[in-house]
Amino acid sequence: MKLEHEFGRTCCFSGGIEKLLMMDTSWDMVKLCKDAEQQMPTDNIETSYVIGDEEYLPVKENSVDLVISCLGLHWTNDLPGAMIQSRLALKPDGLFLAAILGGETLRELRIACTIALMEREGGISPRLSPLAQVRDAGNLLTRAGFTLPGVDVDEYTVRYSSGKSYASCFGFQPRIRADSGRNLLYLA
């Protein structure tokens, strides 16, 4: 049985999901979600699509039962503020689920960039966004006012035959070439 059908069958019963707000900073991702909904029967779910920022949630305080953030929080400029916004949006006993890239993500790439910069430029500058360590994530949740924070780690190792194949998998190569090797953190 397809995942979409299972989701629709389990969530669309009485007392299940009634309203769904899907938000992303990318118009393309919001469009992708809209298109995917057309393939999934969601007659009982009132769905809204918003292009927005996790730092400024477009919801009232104490208005939602569940906030899910999937690989978006690590891009925010104010991670504690975004977590506070999520907690404020939740009703009492609401659930906040988030997946973020953690401190050891792309470790080898970070090391390679550091060594290359030291050899070529005599110093280093950030080439990848800073990422929270596990302990830091738990502390940030507590600081944001969550009373029962839980943090877990899943580790995946992905191997590529070369840096070129890695870059082409993620579409970095044309962008790096177009930017003449500029720091990717400063690109908009």
Q: Which of 156, 180, 183, 184 is nearest to 170 (CA)?
A: 184
Residue 162 is classified by DSSP as: S
Which pair of structure tokens corresponds to residue 39?
Answer: 């393939």
Using alpha carbons, list the distances in angstroms from residue 64 to 25, 43, 71, 100, 121: 20, 20, 20, 21, 50
91 against 55, higher pLDDT = 91
Class of domain 3-104+130-162: alpha beta
Q: Where in the chain is the domain with CATH 3.40.50.150?
A: 3-104+130-162
Q: What is the mean pLDDT of residues 49-66?
A: 88
Backbone conformation region of residue 15, classed left if phi is above 0, alpha if psi is from -120 to 50, else beta? left
What pTM was estimated for this model as a whole?
A: 0.70
Residue range 11-51, pLDDT digits in tens: 444 467 788 888 888 889 889 988 888 877 666 788 888 88
